[in-house]
Amino acid sequence: MYSGADVNEFPVVGSLALAASALVVMGVRRRGRNLLFYIAALLTFFGAAPVLNILLGSPVYVGTVAERVPQASFGIALAVWAMVAVDTVLPQRVREPGLRSLVYRHPFLPAVLSALALATCLILVVFGQGLLEASTKGERLAHIGPIHYWYLLIQLYAMSLFFTTRSSRTLRRAYFANAVAYVVYCLVTNERDFIFVIFAVFAHRLLLNPQLAPLRNLRQQAVARVRQLGPLTLAVVALGALGLATFLFASRSAAVVDRALVLNQGSLLFIDTYVMDKVPDERPYEWGATYLRSVTPTRQSLADDFAREYAPAGDSGYGYSITAEAYLNFGMMGIPIVVFLVSFGHRILINRLKSSDWTMYFSVVYFTAWMYGLRGDSVQFIRTLVYGAAFFFILCRALAVRRTLNAPRVQFEIPSQRSSNGSQQQLATSG
């Protein structure tokens, strides 16, 4: 760990205030249903929380360049305000769906999800004892091998099918059986990936179902609020508790789970200050080259390159940073530009969310990849999206049964609350 950083506090505090003001602006819009706000809040936490540690005299990552902390803090503020710009230029307005004449049935999808759940159980049975006896995460992953990360990627896509699986009871049962197996696997292997994708699903469900939003007058409407808590809401609360348990389990080697440990969850400050210290003094700007290379199938991620450069003999990674890659290519001006473009792409998806089960699925994948991408690079982000699109079109289009409806044409529907007569609307998975 690194402590006692001697930084110029005035510009650092000013940058933190800028980022906080951007969060306030986004938070008051759309009464907490602004999905971009949650990305901005996560970015601020990952990037600015370690800065608070420095200001409070607490330790941060070894290798954090103190002289570059003001510059890195300003970069985080620029990134958050770029999201505010997207929210201003393209407000979040989910359009009502048009009329559709195609619907899809998924006869193979329950079997695929069930097989994935059974495969998870098999992995836990075969490797369970070694996983439980291992003292570190690295030892656990050594038992499973490289299949571990492919498994997590496939599960990200499977979990993102939530809205597609609303069309039948069989699909719903297979989906939740696999979800339970996936969460157990993550807990055993000390991974917290499930929190991101489940939160993405919940955030989209909250957007499509306003009645799940927090009520203003909790004292007068507490009973109504409890009655409105559907199974998904309760499941998310339970999984959030499991996420906290995972965090405590991951931090069990520390003597005390204190403030410094919590604020150091993100490594953005470490990566950003390191890159800003090297570029352009020791290496030139890339001018977009890393983004062009990211579409190359054999291209390794910047996270791998950074791990080899920073700690060649090390056996662990450090991730990377969306703001560091933007700076590596275009300097400080690149940070708001890149964040604006990525945020703009997701906002387009959000505004077309009700168009089909494809847009719902891909918006969840994009939202999850966006959260991952804060501590990643363009290679990871783009490949996650490309593989996710292939996953959907193979399982939910190529293997689906398409049916053309005769007049009258039907409107795409989303899962909603129970109607006044108690019947539950079903999801029509239209193309």
Can you list the alpha helix ranges (DSSP code H) found in 352-416? 357-373, 378-393
pLDDT at position 221, please?
Answer: 47
The residues with which 102 forms a beta bridge, in sequence order, are 404
Which pLDDT score is estimated for 130? 82
User: Looking up tokens 């009700």, which residue turns up?
Assistant: 354
Question: Any idea what the Cα angle at residue 123 is, between residues 201 and 372, rounded to 5°?
Answer: 35
The contacts of residue 120 (CB under 8 Å, 6+ apart) are 151, 178, 181, 182, 184, 185
Strands 410-411 and 99-100: antiparallel
| Sole residue written with tokens 């420095």 | 54
Closest to 87 (Cα-Cα) out of 160, 17, 15, 38: 38
Question: Cα 178 to chain center, whole Å?
Answer: 19
113-132 b/e (C-beta count within 10 Å ≥ 16 → b) = bbebbebbeebbeebeeebe
Residue 233 pLDDT: 53
For 406, the 3-state DSSP assignment is coil
Q: How many residues does the chain have?
A: 431
User: 57 to each of 4, 255, 262, how far by Cα in Å?
Assistant: 6, 18, 14
Distance CA 391, CA 98 (A): 25
Residue 410 three-state SS = strand
Per-residue pLDDT of the chain (431 residues; tens, 9 = 90+): 444 456 778 899 999 999 999 998 988 876 667 889 889 988 998 898 888 888 888 888 788 898 999 999 999 999 999 999 999 999 998 887 765 557 788 999 999 999 999 999 999 998 888 887 777 767 777 788 889 999 999 999 999 999 999 888 999 999 999 999 999 998 888 787 888 898 899 888 878 875 544 444 444 444 444 444 444 454 454 455 445 544 544 544 444 566 777 777 777 899 999 999 999 999 999 999 999 988 887 778 898 888 888 877 666 668 899 999 999 999 999 999 999 999 999 999 999 998 889 999 999 999 999 998 899 999 999 999 999 999 999 999 999 888 775 544 444 445 444 443 444 343 333 33
* Per-residue model confidence (pLDDT) at position 101: 55
Q: Taking the CA of residue 182 as centre, how many other CA atoms within 13 Å lie in the half-sphere pointing to its CB?
A: 30
Long-range contacts at 425-428 (CB < 8 A, ≥ 24 apart): 426/166, 426/167, 427/163, 427/164, 427/166, 427/167, 427/357, 428/100, 428/103, 428/167
Q: Tell me how far CA of residue 245 lies from CA of 18, 140, 242, in angstroms.
A: 33, 18, 5
Paired strand residues for 401: 105
- Give the tokens for residue 69: 């902390």
102: which DSSP letter? E
Write down the residue that tokens 């939910």 correspond to: 396
Q: Which residues pair with 60 in a beta bridge?
A: 2
d(CA 125, CA 329): 46
**What is the DSSP secondary-structure string of 143-162?**
HH-THHHHHHHHHHHHHTTT
Q: Report the distance separating Cα 421 and Cα 418, nearest Å.
A: 8
pTM: 0.85
